[in-house]
Amino acid sequence: MPAQPATKSKAIRREKVGRSNDKAVLAVPVAAGYTPQRYWKYRRPEERVSNIPGRLHVVATPIGNLGDISQRAMDTLTQADLVAAEDTRHSARLLTALGIRRPLISLHEHNEEARVALLKARLAAGQDVALISDAGTPLISDPGYRLVRSLRLAGFEVLTIPGPSSLIAALSVSGLPTDRFFFEGFLPVRAAARRRRLAELAECDHTLVMFEVGRRLHGTLEDMIAVFGGARPAAISRELTKRHETTRLEDLQGLAVWLHQDPNHQRGEFVVMVGPAPSRPARPSIPDAEELLSLLRAEGLSARAAARLAARLTGESANSLYARLHRGKEHK
């Protein structure tokens, strides 16, 4: 039979190089020197029930460009007995684009606890399960924590298949400090709750990283300006790894202006990053209460006036400081 001509998709070139059971085996570009390894225990259907427990593979998938899929991720997804996904319809399209046909099961915030028992049973029977999210690295602002924790506590093996992450990708090209950062995830939807949370983060001396959707981005930036000030350095990234990838570094006020310049700027999902809070001058040291009372009395203040002023400076109770002065007199 003559070889089939190679086909080319938008993001990745794939060649049909053979058949294994009911699926095409795909060759994808890999780094030079990489030797594909088998991260599974069996291949034939009759071997899929085993007294050796299966493993959960937490698999990172592309965040926009199919060319970012790793060979290990392809190997793992191709050989998994079951793929757990937040949105099975979305993940089915992804697997189809990659040329992979595997059974899918939903795992989202509303059914995660119920799915734990089912997946434990599959693993106990020797089946391998791959966990994926809609895009990027699973569990980062996505379901899966309860499953992974439960499996670890039960003694099952959980392996990582690392890869794309919008959090790390955006931070690496933001131009903001990356030595220390604080990931907040999604801020509250309601404006009042969002401002309260931003107020709690206002003094953070790390770069703040958050996710936001386009329809709420304007309100979020306005709240940040109100709480952090418009001059705070910040960056936003959208459409990462896609054709219209954009990362903008400005202050918060400048980002708000840029957002309104073109309706297209508000499309998509965003990673919002805010620079660390500016360092504040150190407050002058205040003598301890005992020393302060002595200094104020030496300046001629009455005991009551000295106690009131010392209380304002130290935060202690004026009555307790006044009583302390009288106890000092009694011991003289």
pLDDT digits (tens, 9 = 90+) for 222-238: 999 999 999 999 999 99
Query: Three-class SS of residue 176?
Result: coil
In whole angstroms, what is the distance from residue 240 CA to residue 258 CA?
A: 18
Confidence of residue 50 (pLDDT cuts 50, 70, 90): low
SS3 for 151-173 is HHHCCCEEEEECCCCHHHHHHHC
pLDDT higher than 80, residue 267: yes
CATH architecture assignment, domain 9-164? 3-Layer(aba) Sandwich (3.40)
Of 257 and 38, the structure prediction assigns the larger pLDDT to 257
Q: Which of 57, 63, 226 is nearest to 129 (CA)?
A: 57
When the pLDDT of each residue in the chain is averaged and rounded to a whole number, the result is: 84
pLDDT higher than 50, residue 175: yes
Half-sphere exposure of 264 (CA within 13 A, CB side): 4
pLDDT higher than 80, residue 17: no
In whole angstroms, what is the distance from residue 264 CA to residue 244 CA?
A: 10
pLDDT higher than 80, residue 315: no
User: Given this structure, which CATH class describes domain 167-274?
Assistant: alpha beta
Confidence of residue 26 (pLDDT cuts 50, 70, 90): very low
Supply the pLDDT for residue 329. Answer: 60
Q: Which of 126, 187, 178 is nearest to 157 (CA)?
A: 126
Q: Where are the domains of the chain?
A: 9-164, 167-274, 289-330
pLDDT digits (tens, 9 = 90+) for 124-142: 999 999 999 999 999 999 9
